[in-house]
Amino acid sequence: MSNKHNRLEELVARLRERGCRLTPQRMAVLKILTAGNCHPSVQEIYCQVRDEFPMMSLATVYSTLALLKEMGEVQELSWDGCRRYDAASSSPHPHLICLQCGEIVDLESDLLGNVADEIARRTGYQIVSHRFEFFAICPRCQEAACAASVGG
Amino acid sequence: MSNKHNRLEELVARLRERGCRLTPQRMAVLKILTAGNCHPSVQEIYCQVRDEFPMMSLATVYSTLALLKEMGEVQELSWDGCRRYDAASSSPHPHLICLQCGEIVDLESDLLGNVADEIARRTGYQIVSHRFEFFAICPRCQEAACAASVGG
DNA sequence: GTTTCTGCAAAATATTTGCATACGC
DNA sequence: GCGTATGCAAATATTTTGCAGAAAC
């Protein structure tokens, strides 16, 4: 919890450094992005922010996300037609995505070991970042599917 | 090269098994997807197919891709606003994507080792597939950047 | 006071859908 | 000949843009 709070403060500090203004709308988006283990879509952010700021515009959500993305402070996850955002930390880490319910779990980044270095060495490419996603069925959805097949 | 040809035949066989019709339009899309080491966008496929079939509709490209995706025969790569398709093989493998020129290199899937198994064991998630992408600068673009900085 | 950010609305883009027709099997 | 796939066009969804006014610093 204090972790999350720190992340929020970190983001605020980064924006200040950059000379960006900390408008209430921006703060609201930051709060949502750093609250709990969430990986919201644009619409989810928009809806939540509107609870607090009914006048809030979608364009502002997009522009805030674009800013954070450009700063490297959020990871954009996209698969199929979905785009979700993760501001958990500035360093990329693997994700486990449930194809059924859409739940997303963050995994530790040390899973990869030195794969990136090895690839850089072998290919000559200069690795900037990476994205590593597992598409899966979460335990709850597995149970649900199992119960359904037994039941019917 | 014969590899690519085999992949085309494999896709044709899969479609036949499934009772799908092998229309000229579909064949054209398959040929493009299995030609060389390409990772085309919908538009690229559309443009190339139209060289051969000027009447070809975009909707047909979309529907063919949707079919192949559903069959698990193409991987969809999406990052930022881009979506590209890879039909290199039915098993997922890592990609190395140049952020500058958009070139995509396929990597061997054994880079991962048994990470997927380990995650499945630790989390209880049932892994269906994965996507593993490195965003990088390719050697050519590195040189170009270097030359530019020396030159100017 | 200056400059950036916001809200609005329209525009641009990307993708999906419905339906009559064409054509692979 | 049957039934699926196609082409077209309209519908839908998503994201971007321009601009006047608001407000953070």
Label residue B4 by pLDDT band (50, 70, 90): low
**Chain D nucleotides with an atom closer than 7 Å to a protein C-beta:** 4-9, 14-18, 23-25
| Contact flag A137-B131 (C-beta cutoff 8 Å) | no
Can you read off the two tokens belonging to residue A69?
């993305």
The answer on pLDDT for B96 being more than 80 is yes
| Contact flag A127-B116 (C-beta cutoff 8 Å) | no
- Give yes or no for a contact between B100 and A126, defined as CB atoms under 8 angstroms apart: no
E strands, chain A, where? 75-79, 82-86, 95-98, 104-106, 126-137
CA distance A72 to A92: 10
Strands A75-79 and A126-137: unpaired
Give, for B81, the enclosing helix (H) or strand (E). Answer: none
pLDDT tens for B101-110 read 778 888 887 7
CA distance B38 to A114: 27
Label residue B115 by pLDDT band (50, 70, 90): confident
- Give yes or no for a contact between B141 and A134, defined as CB atoms under 8 angstroms apart: no
Q: Which residues of A touch B111 (CB under 8 A)?
A: 115, 118-119
Nearest CA in chain A to B124: A139
How many Cβ atoms sit within 10 Å of the Cβ of residue B93?
Answer: 18
DSSP letter at B74? Answer: S
The pLDDT, as a whole number, for residue A116 is 84
* Mean pLDDT score, A6-29: 94
* Mean pLDDT score, A2-12: 80
Residue with the two structure tokens 């072998």: A122
The answer on pLDDT for A34 being more than 60 is yes
3-state SS, residue B126:
strand
CA–C1' A58–C10 (A):
14
pLDDT tens for A78-137 read 888 889 999 987 677 888 988 777 788 888 877 777 788 888 999 999 998 888 888 888
The pLDDT, as a whole number, for residue A3 is 62
| Contact flag A107-B128 (C-beta cutoff 8 Å) | no
The pLDDT, as a whole number, for residue B142 is 87
pLDDT tens for B18-59 read 999 999 999 999 999 999 788 999 999 999 999 889 989 999
Q: Which residues of A touch B130 (CB under 8 A)?
A: 132-135
The pLDDT, as a whole number, for residue B132 is 87
CA distance A132 to A127: 14
Q: CB-based contact (8 Å) between A77 and chain B?
A: no
Type of residue found at B79: W
